[in-house]
Structure formats: C-alpha cells, structure tokens
Structure 1
C-alpha cells in the first residue's frame, strides 16, 4: 500500500469492491464505524462488514490483525461470531455473520418493562456468553441494551467485542458528536472509570441493565461528569422504591452486583444471574403464589431474504465519497416480538449483603505511566492523562468494546457550551480531620492540579486531569458550573482580581479566558507550543502571565492575546509564575532548578522592561514547583524538589535563611509541590508529595498547624481572600477546605 493513511470521512457505495467483499447495502453510519451488508466474492455468502474510522496508522496494523484473530476464536452460541478481519487501504474491518435481529434497546423501552420471569432466560444466555469470554480473560467492557441482540429464533447474541488497537487508533484523533458517549457512562463500572477494569466490570454493567429493564430508569442521571461521579461514589437508589413488587432479596442481589468495590460483587457473572433466579424462585415460594407464565406472544415472522443485486463494475480500490452525500438506504427488518423462553434452574451462591456506604474521600487510584518528563511532576500517585484516557475502561487488553474509547473521547471533546450543573446533592461533604471540620469536594474524576478562590471568597475554581474546570461554592460544595473547553488535562487556573473572568491552561497548549459566571469562552491564547503549567493575573485584570513546558514565560493581553513579553532564559519547562505586587515584574520557577524574575516595567537605570532581574539557584538542580510573593512584594517563597521552602529578596534574589525544612524525610525524598503566602503576610502554607500541608510562621519558620487530610500529593494550596480559610488540591482527586482554628 505504501505511505501514511490520509484521514477521510468516507462512505462506500453499493457495488464497490472492498477487499474480498462487494458492498451490497449500507446498514448504518456512525462517527467511528460504518456497517454494510456485503457478499463474499468467493461463496456469495451475505455477511455484515464493520469498517472502522479513522484509518489505521502503519504501526497499529499488525496489532489489529493479531487481536482480531483472537476475537475470531470466540465460538459461543450467544456471541455474534466474527468471521473475518482485514485492513484495506488502511481501513480496518471486521466481518460478522448476517443475523436479522432487534436489540434490547429496540424491544424494551422505559414504558415497556419486562418482568424478571421474562428476563431471566435471556440473562442466563448473556451470562453464559460473558462467562465463556471471561474464561479466556477477555472483557467485553460495553454491556448495554444496544449490544444485546435477539434473533428471530429468540436467541441472544452479544455483539461489541472490538480489538484494542481500534481504540488506541481512535485516541489519536478528537472525534466530536459521538452518540455513544452519553449512553456508555450510564453502564460503566467505577473501576473502569479509574482505568482498572476487571472481569467483574461486565457484571456491574449487566446489573445496571437489569436495574433499568425492571424499573424503566437508569440508576443515575445527569451530565456526563455528574453520572461518572455518581458511579464512583453514590450508592444506586433503592430499586424497590421504584418497583415495590420486587422482593427485598432480589433487590439485594442486584445491589450486590452494583457494589462499588469489584471484590464485593459475585465471584462470576453466572453466579450473579443464578442468584437472581434463585431469589426469584424463593420469592414465589415464600408468598405461596404460583408462577403464571407470560401470555403467549406471536411467533416471529419469517424474514425474507435480502435481494442481492449483481455488483456494478467493482473497482479494485474503493472509491471515496464524502459523507455529506445522502447516506445509502437502511436495510429494513420487519417488526416482531420475541416469544417466551422457559426458564431453567441455575445453582447460585447466597446473595451478599448490600455494600456499605463509601467514605467521603475517593479510593486510591493507579499511579501514572512514567513515560515522559511531565510524569515527574505527578509521579506521587496522581492519575495522569495517559492512564486516565488510555485505560479508562481498562480495555488495553483484547476483547474490549467501544467503552474506554467513548469515555476517553468524551473527556477530550470540546463542548459547544459549558455544562451548567445545579446539583441536587453537592459532590462534597463535611468530615472531621485533625478534630476540625473540613469540606471535602470530590467532584473531579482525576488528580486536581490547581485551584483559585474568587475575590469575594465565596467560590473556588479547580482544575483537573479529567480535562474540566469546576466552579463550586466554598461553603456547601455545590457545583455552579463545569467548564469543558479543553481537550486535554487542565494544569492551571486563575481567577481575575475583578472577579469577572477565569483563565485556565492545559496540556493542549492553550490558555482559555472565560466568563466566571456563565462559563462562556471569551478568548483562546495559543502562543505556547506545549503544556501551559502556570497562570497569573496582573492586579488590574488586564494581563496574564503564563508559563509553559516550551520553556517560556509569556505576558499577554487577556482580551485579545496581544503579546507583551516573551521571556526566554529557562533551560527547561516552566512550572510556576506569579506577578509581583504593583505589576512591576513576573517571577517564574522551572524544572531547571532556578527561580527567575523578569521586569515588566522600567526599573530606573537598572533594568529595562523585558530584562531578567535575577536568577536564583538556591534549590540546586532540583525543580522549583511553586512560588508565592509576599503581599508587600518584597520577598518570594519558592517550593522545591529539595524538600525545602526558601525565601529570597524580591529585588535581587538574595536568599533569606533559615529555610523551612518541615517537609524533609530521612527515609525518602518528599518534594514540596505547593506554597502560598497568607494575605496578612505572617504565615506561609506549603504542601508536599506525601500529602501533608504545613502552616508555618514566617518569623522563625515554626510550624503552627499540620493538616493531614489528603492521601496523595498536594498539588496546590491557597488562602481565602480574608485569610481565615485554606483550600488544598490533591492527586487524591479532592479539594479540601479547612481552617487552622
């Protein structure tokens, strides 16, 4: 074939030749795959071809073919068989049997709720299929009604097994408008969201489907991020409240399968369905009732064969027609209703007790993949973008359906407008830490990298590796809005001093200015060539200083992006920036171990605007993670990987020992990652990799309070404008609001 693939959104037309198949009819066209009824050129057998988009990269071709060959070996009466696979003109495709069918989504709507008597025979077939796949260590990962087919013989066929190479290939592009995005999250297990899918994740998804089929409603509703948070932390609403006729024992079985911890679910998916049947049978015995068979349904109609037209001048290479043309007609399938299937006894283990309530703080998450220098910044247990996106539903191994791709792409899809979220239940709760009241905000799905108070002290904006910035009430934790303008993890956030705007910086290389009340994006600054690690507003709210992995510090107009200064001097990425009181200079810290100060105005006869004022190297070769100016602008506090917080003069960088060494550990290195000077100038707060936060007095460098509410690295700390309250953001996915007295 030769050369790299060209990205095209194509539709293949009737009569075209694709590999060893002729296109007969188009069945459906999605954003990431097109399905066609095809005929083999060898035996004239009608099959279904699914052509995946985008085209494969060269290095993924062999992976796709190897993984598809494994899936082709799945041979079970209730799994839709994959008969062939291939790559044509860089387009990967799978060939499955042509089976006229309806999906569970087609058959059972919210108003048409089947009884458990009707469902059980189907559930047993689904469980049998999953158990077979699980026996080969293959997870499905996308169990939902759309992927459960019922053929005209009233047999279940499970579809949706897709090679992992397809998901990896899709991740390199940003696809917008994927309809499966919102549907998938409703069925996704908590551990899948965290990137740790296990075989029991399919059991959770099946239990969600059973819950919905029985009561007509999903356990959780809301925006994507709200549902994801509920999947992680909120017990499902009691099923009996929605359907009082369901016994408590049946409800307990379903709730066991919906346990947040996979270890608390049934040992196998067949054990789950077996327990359902056992309790269903017991409920009839205990009530003294007789099972009444469902009324007979009409036999399925005979579906006429699809007429096969002779191919029309097939070309050896498929022609490409832009998808803006009218789509080919959809193959019609007659409407029919499935007849009842007699249930069969299944031995089940005893149902477990309902899972206990989860603690407020979310459970520990996996460590990031340390495959780039950026991982150093978060190698203290933060969940990196690669782990979060590439492993969202844990389907890097074979057998995963579109689940993790759909979830990860949802997190990189730019919404046309922010999602406003008026939470019925705030994603926060008060707890006691160090015998003090603390508000723990757990609304993020991944490490929280930065936070900023509103100037009036009422709200907090927090930025996360989940690619969102959330604005929420500092007292109640109630979410005000979610900003979703970035396509990759958000590293920095800052609230303008006039309270009107927020600026956020991201791995996507942009800094975006948006309305703090409505979330409307006002301007995108694209002057950097790499991740924007740090942001700071001038006191007049007119200019923004930004620091980036591209080694530059840039000062630009917040309204139109006009570049005022581009400071060059750091030899590695910039991790922190901060305006000096009076806007006369901007300080910056870097991976290169230096703290530098840059003039933004003329400094008498000493420095011109744009000059470097000083370069302080007191942290040695250890990176400078954070900095904070004293309120009077005379001193700078810098936090480093050498486990110290150092003070230096703001005019020339002269060190002002002694340094604060409360973070130092003898057993291991404990870098200091965050620092903030109190508004009255008397105290400094600093957070470290171990998850500790120290409040210490500037005079004498003595610790006055130690906060230990976090489980992982403290990436950011900030005082409220009145200096009475502190907020700390962590790799444990939380922001915690607390006081020292």
Structure 2
C-alpha cells in the first residue's frame, strides 16, 4: 500500500480527472474499487477487492499521464514501468508483493499487496513529542535492516534512495515493517561516477544523492540513520538537512553505543558510515540485548482480531489463556450456515441418505473433482455418536519468546529432543522444547526463513529461505555442513528423508532431491506447469514424494524411477477454480495425505489407490500449516489466529480442540513423533503444548 496525500472530498471536474476511478467502479472487470487511499500530482492509490481471488484486498497505484506534456509523460511512464518491473522481481516479507501491472486508457496501474496499518510518519504524528519508545524504534530499525540487506545483496544491488517515515508502513496485522514506493530506487552501476538524476527527500537523502557521487548501499544507511534519529528525538531532519545533534542531548538515558552508531550512519562521507546494513543490524541487536529485560520488548503488536472476511461469520471457539496454562478440551462449536456441494449421481443420493436425521457439527463439507478416482464424500459425525469421539487434553507447557521477528516455521526433531523455529528476520533458533534453553542460533540467511526440516534419526537440520538457498546444520556439533544453491529464486519448502536426502522446492517450479552430507543433486523433478512449489512431504516408506504448487496441483512422485505416479487438482470451494495448497503432511501410517488450502479448506487424499476423499472448509482464512498425530487419527491445523485439533478419517471430520492465539496469526504448527508435545507459533512467540488423548 502506498500513501500519497490525505483523501479530500473534491469531485472530479470531468471524465479526464486525475482521479478517474471512484468507489464502486470495477477496473479491468476484476478490481472493485473500495476507497481512495491517497492522491498525488500524477495519480492516486486505491484500496480494491480482487473479484478473481476471493475478494482479496489489494492496493492499486495509478499513474495518470494524459495531462502532462509529451516529454514529461514519457518520463513518468518510464519511471512507472521501472518501479513495477523492479518490484515484480523482489520477494521479501518487508516488501509488498506485486500481483500485476498494466496500462488501460492512458493510465498505468500497479496492483500489489494491501498492507493494513499506518505509515511511520503517521505513527510519529500521534506519538508524544514525535518520538517513539526506544524498544519500538529499535524493532523498526532492525526490521528495516533486514530488507535493506536483501536489496543490497541482489546480484545487482538495489539502492532504495528514499528511506523516510512516509515510505515505511507498519503492518498492524502481521507486525511487519514494510518499505513502500520504489519510485526512485535504482540498481547500482559499477564504474559510474555519479547518479544520473539527483533524487531524494531533503533531510533523509544522503549528500551523494545530489549529484556528488553515485548512490551506494551507504546512501540507504544514511536514510536509515536519519529516520532512526527522528524516531528517538522527534526532530524532522528536513528542517535542518545534514545536521544531526547527539541523541543523548535530547535524552541522556539513551545508550552511548546507539548515539555513536547513529552519528556514524549520518556521516557526510559514505566511507565513514557502517559498511553494510548487516553490520548496523548486528550492532542494534547488541544494543537491545544490553537493555534491561523489561525494555527490550516493543509495545507495538499485531492486531488481536483481524477483521473477518466479508460475508462469512467467525466461528466461536474455546479459548485457552496462555497466561494460565490448564488442561482443557473444547466443546463442539456451534453450527455455521451449511454450504454443501456434492457430486451428482449416486454419490449425491448416498450423501443425502447418510446425512438425513444427523446433526452436523460445525463447518461445511465440500468435495472437489478428482483426476484420479471418484471421490468419497465425507460423512458428518451424528450427535448420537459424540460420546465415541476421542477426548483431547491440552496444556500450555512453555512460551518461547527469543525471536525478534514473527516466526514462520517450527519443527521437532524426530526424537523430540530439539525444537527449531525460524523467523522473518532470517534467524533460526534451536532449543530444548520443555525448558526453552537456546542450544543454537544462526542468521546466516539473507531473507526470511520459509521452512525447517530435520533428517530423521539425526541432529541434522535444514532451513530454506527466500534468499534462494537451503542451509544444513549439525545441531549436536554446532556447525554448518553445507549450503545448497540449486534453485533459482526463493526456496519455499524442504523435507528430510530417512535415507539421508533432502527434497526442496521453490518458486522456480522445480523439486530437487539431494544428498544431505554432500549437497549433490540426485533428482530434478519438473511438472509441465512449472508453477511455484509451496509444500513437500515424504511418504513414511521414503519412496514417494508429494509436492503442491501455486496452481492447485498435488503431484505424487516415485523417487525410485523419477516418474510422476499421481496428480490431483484442488478446486476452490466457491469459485471452482484451482486453489493453492500451502502445506502438505503425509500421515505416519502412510494411508493419507493432508493438504492445507489457501481458501481455508483441508483436503485428504487416500494413498490406497490414490483416491481423493474430499475437502472441508475449516476457516474463512487460509489454512497455512498442518501436522498429524503419531497414530494418524488426529490432525492439527493452523488458520488465521487459530490452531485446531481434528478427528480426521474417511468417515468423520470433527473438531476436538481449538486454541485462539492472542499475539498474531498461527503461521506454523508441528506435532512431536512421541505424541506428547505440540508446537504452534503466534507472532514472535512459539507455544509448546502438552497433549494427550483418550477414546
């Protein structure tokens, strides 16, 4: 989302107004305009609903050039396409995702991720004296360092050149800090003596941006220093460019090390500034660690209750307070409005007969078409059979709060001795799940962690990242074994096999199998679609590998022959269009494969003949993660800010326990193979749960 100027109430004077789109209009027969977020001299920014993607919220940046003279119009259009094409190549949690860009009726449009929240400029305006608490300022600066590290480490480094509070979004839902408006970002050109154009915002722009020299990553470090100085002093640097008083002259309680670091960041000479954003991040981390424990945590938190998707009611759940752990079992949730889509023919008749007289428990059951075998429709558990359901007791054992950024992945080692967690700031922590003792920490990746996987029966851990690599570590020996670089682009999934190999999949559409000790690739698996891979799962027998991609395809690979042995396309429960699966999990007994859908459904595929059993909507939010119990009877799912344990089988699909996370969305879950522990994420925290079931 990009903010330009506050919205006004002026109406357009004619059809060629600088704001040709108004709420209620539909752009390109797809984007329903909801409101105008801001206006500028060359266009506007809108919030819209994407009618082709389940009314997903998007931000649309519009550039209008018809009112400009030809030369200026050409320059404006060229700058737009430069920004759009640059953003489209970038993948980082602190950058808005670009969905598409196009030209229509002499206007250019950039459609991107909508970020709910406020700019840092707005945050400073409503703060006391224009300052932020030290912990909050450090958190924002550290997150900015991670995205600058990513930009500066591209094969051709990208210099943002306009780092200031107005171009920094604070995501109120996910807790992210995002850079917006890449209008003047540029690629570093070796050998060029100075920038072609002098661009930047006075006070925040480094001196070399005014034509004295070519902008380097140190220009962004200057902008970050100016912004950090403003957050801690309340002084707008544009009022006195290039002049920064000591931080401690405003607040003597600020750490001297921080005062010295900020002074170095805003040095006139680029050579006197810190060498990289990574160096700045490390020093900020050290400064934060030296603070008293009660001053290390920012009061800025993601929103507790994200707004429900329009047209769908939120399911009421049993809540467990993390502040007071206790054993509990959730009651059956109230019934929601039924949306039952069944197959025609005898299956429809059989389903109707099976459901007559039976009270449905809560959520709608929806089956999708199969390219393998005709599906069997799930049956609900009648109220008369509720007493036969397993009883689940869950107790909070530990809350781990060692991460400084939202946690995206968790994984228990096969013996339950270790629990690994990875976050958006590319840090991986390995710790003892019951004591919380940190055993290993590394942040050698250059972008967010996407998944974690252990090699079964060993202390070998793999972490995949949006930086395009997979790192393999021996936790017991505290050393890195190798870095796998076989993918082009972000690696979204990695899974370990008991035969000593890892499988990885990424945005390049490939699934690669490689040796865990040498990194030598043995298999390259490609489907014709070459769609980005979201998830992987090995069969317990380790001869079959399942993959799921962005186009809704679930592929079963025979790794002994490198042949495709099965294919299933998952369909959206409302539109009937293919929907991506975000996670896969093979049941420990090898009989079923579960998938988590971006449309909120959980699907089950039987591996006894590869029949597709069907899918059930479990949430109005995307289902992001899942894990099986060791006995293959129960399924743990994550969706929105909820983690739910389900009875999942061919004949019953019922919720047994639901926990509602208060610190953010549940991005990842795992179930230890010994059956006694669960793990779930919530913002920057990881919860460890003691679980038992009977019946």
CA 1:93 to 1:537, structure 2 compared with 1: closer, same or farther past 3 Å? closer
| Aligned partners of 1:85 and 1:93 also within 8 Å | no
| Aligned residue number for residue 553 of structure 1 | 511
User: How many angstroms does 1:618 deviate by?
Assistant: 2.8
Give the length in aligned residue pairs. 402
User: How many angstroms does 1:552 deviate by?
Assistant: 0.8
| Aligned residue number for residue 646 of structure 1 | 603
User: How many angstroms does 1:688 deviate by?
Assistant: 0.6
Q: Deviations over 1:619-653 (max 9, x none)?
A: 34111011111112121111111221111122553
Whole-Å Cα distance in 1 between the matches of residues 217 and 479 of structure 2? 41
Query: Aligned Cα RMSD in Å?
Result: 4.7
User: How many angstroms does 1:513 deviate by?
Assistant: 1.2
Whole-Å Cα distance in 1 between the matches of residues 234 and 405 of structure 2? 31
Whole-Å Cα distance in 2 between the matches of residues 433 and 655 of structure 1? 38
| Aligned residue number for residue 422 of structure 2 | 463
SS of the residue corresponding to residue 670 of structure 2 reads strand
| Aligned residue number for residue 294 of structure 2 | 235
Q: Structure 1: state its 5+ residue gaps.
A: 1-31, 33-52, 73-81, 96-125, 150-155, 189-219, 222-226, 237-257, 262-361, 369-428, 602-608
The 5 Å alignment of 1:367-446 reads: 431-432=324-325, 436-446=395-405
Whole-Å Cα distance in 1 between the matches of residues 624 and 432 of structure 2? 25
Whole-Å Cα distance in 2 between the matches of residues 688 and 164 of structure 1? 47
SS of the residue corresponding to residue 160 of structure 1 reads helix
| Aligned residue number for residue 627 of structure 2 | 676
CA 1:142 to 1:725, structure 2 compared with 1: closer, same or farther past 3 Å? farther
User: How many angstroms does 1:574 deviate by?
Assistant: 0.6
Say yes or no: does 1:633 pair with 2:590. yes
Greater displacement, 55-64 / 612-621: 55-64
Whole-Å Cα distance in 2 between the matches of residues 59 and 622 of structure 1? 49
| Aligned partners of 1:470 and 1:483 also within 8 Å | yes
The 5 Å alignment of 1:413-562 reads: 431-432=324-325, 436-540=395-499, 542-562=500-520
| Aligned partners of 1:64 and 1:165 also within 8 Å | no
User: How many angstroms does 1:611 deviate by?
Assistant: 0.9
| Aligned partners of 2:570 and 2:580 also within 8 Å | no
| Aligned residue number for residue 567 of structure 1 | 525
Whole-Å Cα distance in 2 between the matches of residues 545 and 476 of structure 1? 31
| Aligned partners of 1:431 and 1:439 also within 8 Å | no
Whole-Å Cα distance in 1 between the matches of residues 613 and 208 of structure 2? 71
SS of the residue corresponding to residue 715 of structure 1 reads coil
| Aligned residue number for residue 676 of structure 2 | 724
CA 1:367 to 1:449, structure 2 compared with 1: closer, same or farther past 3 Å? farther
Whole-Å Cα distance in 2 between the matches of residues 94 and 568 of structure 1? 41
Q: 1:160 pairs with 246, 249, 263, which one? A: 263
Q: Deviations over 1:215-264 (max 9, x none)?
A: xxxxx43xxxxx7xx7xxx315xxxxxxxxxxxxxxxxxxxxx9954xxx
| Aligned partners of 1:693 and 1:714 also within 8 Å | no
Whole-Å Cα distance in 2 between the matches of residues 489 and 142 of structure 1? 35
Whole-Å Cα distance in 2 between the matches of residues 93 and 561 of structure 1? 32
Whole-Å Cα distance in 1 between the matches of residues 644 and 240 of structure 2? 43
SS of the residue corresponding to residue 712 of structure 1 reads coil
| Aligned residue number for residue 142 of structure 2 | none
Q: Structure 2: state its 5+ residue gaps.
A: 1-151, 153-186, 220-228, 253-258, 307-321, 329-394, 573-577
| Aligned partners of 1:430 and 1:439 also within 8 Å | no
Whole-Å Cα distance in 2 between the matches of residues 636 and 454 of structure 1? 21
The 5 Å alignment of 1:231-270 reads: 234-236=293-295, 260-261=298-299
Q: Deviations over 1:496-520 (max 9, x none)?
A: 1122211111111111111112331
| Aligned residue number for residue 713 of structure 1 | 665
| Aligned residue number for residue 685 of structure 1 | 636
The 5 Å alignment of 1:66-81 reads: 66-67=200-201, 69-70=202-203
Whole-Å Cα distance in 1 between the matches of residues 532 and 523 of structure 2? 17
Whole-Å Cα distance in 2 between the matches of residues 691 and 166 of structure 1? 50
Say yes or no: does 1:704 pair with 2:685. no
CA 1:468 to 1:433, structure 2 compared with 1: closer, same or farther past 3 Å? farther
Say yes or no: does 1:363 pair with 2:281. no
CA 1:694 to 1:65, structure 2 compared with 1: closer, same or farther past 3 Å? same
SS of the residue corresponding to residue 693 of structure 1 reads strand
User: How many angstroms does 1:706 deviate by?
Assistant: 0.9
Whole-Å Cα distance in 2 between the matches of residues 688 and 57 of structure 1? 50
Q: Which has the larger radius of gyration?
A: 1
| Aligned residue number for residue 131 of structure 2 | none
Whole-Å Cα distance in 2 between the matches of residues 585 and 631 of structure 1? 13
TM-score for both structures, normalised by structure 2? 0.50
User: How many angstroms does 1:543 deviate by?
Assistant: 0.7
Q: Deviations over 1:516-564 (max 9, x none)?
A: 1233111111111111111111123x11111111111111111112212
CA 1:163 to 1:518, structure 2 compared with 1: closer, same or farther past 3 Å? same
SS of the residue corresponding to residue 294 of structure 2 reads coil
Q: 2:545 pairs with 575, 586, 593, which one? A: 586
CA 1:181 to 1:546, structure 2 compared with 1: closer, same or farther past 3 Å? closer
